[in-house]
Amino acid sequence: MKYKSLFNVIFIAFALLVIGASYRHNEMVQSNEKEKLDQLASNENAEIVTAMNNNTNEESGIGIIPGSSNSLENNTDNMPEYAKKYPDMYVTSAIADNLEDGKKIAYLTFDDGPSYVTKEILDTLDQNDIKATFFILGSTMTEEGEEYLKRMVEEGHAVGIHTFSHRNNIYDSVDSYLDDFYKAFEQIYDITGVKPTIFRFPYGSINSYNKKIKYELISEMERRGFTYYDWNVCANDSIGNPTEHSILSNVLKGLKKYCKPVILLHDASINEKTAKILPRIIDKIKEAGFEFDTVDKRTPCQFFYK
């Protein structure tokens, strides 16, 4: 009996040591991650906010790392070579902050367009007097797509960049990403006369392809004045075999969680079902008491980096 009691004491003590070691390890990992961002900000003379918030924002439902409010002086002394590329690819960053106003606002965002589906989506938005955000994929651009892009700007929608190719190898290096991004940046500016200031990373800011460069990449993009937006509600309209019902259901689930949902939808050529169900989605969002706006009017919705 005595041996059994002694064994229990030893086992409990060992368990406490393991738990304590694990806790200290997690603290060290989070500290190291923060140091990486702080070092990048220091090295690149960028006033990048690097606060690591371990609690989800109650309004947005997602971790937020605000964009930079840095000077746009193109002083690249003592910076990486990629910082010297594309000296015209700088924009004025203006980060909105409307999470505390108490309003329920939904942000419809569409990736991977324009395509022939885009017209139906624009028509629906126009009929409902709603402004949305489109993250453009440059490689899909056609003459018809150019007209849709101009229409987006004319009708007051926000236009952002989703890169040119959406290929995995854009994350091979910061150089690779900048090369691809610049094609889309230049393309949108040439077509519309407007320099896009917002963007969305292919696969989101946390993905299996950008692990090695994510801190450098975010630092460089924010140094140039760009702000990226992820999402906190996903319609899953480009995964598997979605139905109109599943798309609507996925959106409605998110509405129950957040007061400021950033809703991920798509307007590629494969997204006819998205265009068809969009009027129903809008009706349901209105019924739930939401207004609509573009993401550039919202505090950036960004995934956590832990």
Give, for all 306 residues of the chain, the pLDDT tens digit.
544 455 554 555 555 454 454 444 444 434 444 344 334 333 333 222 222 222 334 344 343 333 333 444 456 678 899 999 999 999 998 788 777 678 999 999 999 999 999 999 999 999 999 999 999 999 999 999 999 999 999 999 999 999 999 999 999 999 999 999 999 999 999 999 999 999 999 999 999 999 999 999 999 999 999 999 999 999 999 999 999 999 999 999 988 899 999 999 999 999 999 999 999 999 999 999 999 999 999 999 999 754
CA–CA gap between residue 95 and residue 70 (Å, rounded)? 12
Looking at residue 138, what is its pLDDT? Answer: 96
- Are 257 and 96 in contact by the 8 Å Cβ rule? The answer is no
**Hey, what amino acid is at 132?**
A
Rg (CA), the chain: 22
Helix (H, G, I), strand (E, B) or coil at 135: strand
Looking at residue 62, what is its pLDDT? Answer: 40
* Cis peptide bond N-terminal to 114, omega within 30: yes
CATH of domain 106-297: 3.20.20.370
What Å distances lie between residue 176 and 121, 165, 294, 305, CA to CA?
32, 11, 29, 22
* Residue owning tokens 């992820």: 230
Listed in sequence order, the residues at least 6 apart from 122 whose beta carbon sits closer than 8 Å to its beta carbon are 148, 151, 152, 155, 157
CA–CA gap between residue 295 and residue 261 (Å, rounded)? 10
CA–CA gap between residue 176 and residue 188 (Å, rounded)? 19
Residue 60: which H helix or E strand, with range?
A: none
> Which of 207, 273, 196, 280 lies closest to 242, judged by CA?
273
Rounded to the nearest 10 degrees, the angle between the axes of helix 2-43 and helix 214-223 is 30
What Å distances lie between residue 58 and 3, 61, 98, CA to CA?
51, 5, 13
**Hey, what amino acid is at 91?**
V
CA–CA gap between residue 280 and residue 265 (Å, rounded)? 14
> Which of 230, 304, 224 lies closest to 47, judged by CA?
224
Looking at residue 188, what is its pLDDT? Answer: 98
